[in-house]
Amino acid sequence: MSNITTHEPQSDSAIFLHGVGVLYRIPHDPIKTFKEYVIRAVQGRIKHHSFWALKDIHLDLKRGEIFGIIGRNGAGKSTLLKVISRVLIPTEGRVWIKGNVSPLLQLGAGFHPELTGFENIYLNASILGFSQKEIDEKVEEIIDFSEIGDFINVPLRTYSSGMRARLGFAVATAWKPDILLLDEVLAVGDVAFKDKCIDRMNLFRDQGSTVLVVSHSVDNIKETCHRAMWLDEGQIRLVGPAEEVGNAYQKDMKTRRQGKMRVNR
């Protein structure tokens, strides 16, 4: 229940973060040109105003665990997901990840409008790190799942946004990930397709994937997650059973709201 973790990942760990911090440096007045930069560097006038988007994050996530992250806007939730998906190398601390990470953050990454759906499956899947051979094995299944039908051989620019999203989702979830990152609730296509998506998520979970959920819906987190983390201004406010953390967060939000109302009055 405490957020002090060991210094080494354990044998059943999936994600292990130790003392992770992300420092953004923002120049006081933004330097946009090279000339300005050189002049100021010579004068020693480059001053930065920096802030920690994340600070002292310790986390030891076990394999198969479903873990929720809650917090207000700008609390560092997305930054944390970026660190875990290796997009952002943290300024300090250690990141240890076991297995492949599937970030369901951006569906259809790298889709190209001039290529056909079929060609885009190969492009998108190779961006996700799969080899030609692996894609060959799954391509039929992806087409089936996406319900694109004959449109698969037509340039993507003719697709509706729902079709694109379905194709993106089908590619992203064709392989069972070891670690699944979910940002917000997936809004993909119609209700029937949404159910199919949720089924697939549940299947991964049952097959032992580690799932990390970021959501604004605290009730959702309390329902689906084992444990949760409450992030506040880049720091861990609380880690523990999802129910407990969710309740504490909701209580805090309530008092904040009341405080605000009193001020307004």
Partner 1 sequence: MSELNIYDSAKRKHPAIEELTALFKYRDLIYQLVRRDLIARYKRSVLGVAWTMLNPLGIMIVMTIVFSQVFSRVESYPAYLITGLICWNMFTQSTSFAINSMVWGNKLLEQIYLPNTSFVVSTILSNMINFVLSLIPLFLIMFVTQVPVRWTVVLIPLAMILIGAFSLGFGLLISTLAVFFPDVAELYPVILRAWLYLTPIIVPVDILNNILNGWILRLNPMYYIIDVFRQLIYYGTIPSLTQWLIAIFAAFGTLVIGWIFFCNKSDKFAYYV
Q: How many CB atoms lie within 10 A of CB 44?
A: 7
> Phi/psi of residue 78, each to 5°?
-65, -35
CA 184 to chain CA mean position, Å: 9
| Site for partner 1 contains 103 (CB under 8 A) | yes
Candidates 112-120, 162-170, 186-194, 248-256; binding stretch for partner 1 (CB under 8 A): 112-120
Cα atoms found within 13 Å of the Cα of residue 211, Cβ hemisphere only:
27
| Residue 88 interacting with partner 1 (CB under 8 A) | yes
Element (H, E) at 214: strand 210-214
Q: What values do phi and psi take at 24, rounded to 5?
A: -95, 130
Per CB under 8 A, the list member of 5, 21, 24, 147 interacting with partner 1 is 24
Pull the structure tokens for residue 159: 């697709």
**Residue 120, SS3 per DSSP:** helix
Is residue 41 part of the contact set for partner 1 (CB under 8 A)? no
| 132, 161, 207, 255: residue in contact with partner 1 (rule CB under 8 A) | 132
CA distance 7 to 94: 10
Interactions with partner 1, residue window 137-156 (CB under 8 A)? 155
Task: Please identify which residue in 48, 112, 251, 256 interacts with partner 1, judged by CB under 8 A.
Answer: 112
* b/e 187-206 (16+ beta carbons within 10 angstroms → b): ebbeeebeebbeebbeebbe
123 contributes a contact to partner 1 by CB under 8 A: yes
Q: Is residue 47 within the footprint of partner 1 (CB under 8 A)?
A: no
Report the C-alpha gap between 97 and 41 in whole angstroms: 38
Which of 42, 114, 261, 264 contacts partner 1 by CB under 8 A? 114
Query: 71 CB contacts (<8 Å, ≥6 apart)?
Result: 77, 230, 231, 232, 237, 249
Interaction between residue 100 and partner 1 (CB under 8 A): yes
Q: Is 126 in the site for partner 1 (CB under 8 A)?
A: yes
Q: Is residue 52 involved in binding partner 1 (CB under 8 A)? A: no
How many Å apart are CA 103 and CA 126, to the nearest integer? 14
Is residue 105 involved in binding partner 1 (CB under 8 A)?
yes
Q: Is 68 in the site for partner 1 (CB under 8 A)?
A: no
Number of residues in contact with partner 1 under rule CB under 8 A:
43
Residue with Cβ nearer partner 1 (157 or 260) = 157
Piece of 54-62, 107-115, 238-246, 256-264 that binds partner 1 (CB under 8 A) = 107-115
Check binding of 51 to partner 1 (CB under 8 A).
Answer: no
Under the binding rule (CB under 8 A), the answer on residue 207 touching partner 1 is no
* Interface residue list for partner 1 (CB under 8 A): 24-25, 32-35, 37, 82, 85-90, 93-101, 103, 105-106, 109-110, 112, 114-115, 119, 122-123, 126-132, 155, 178
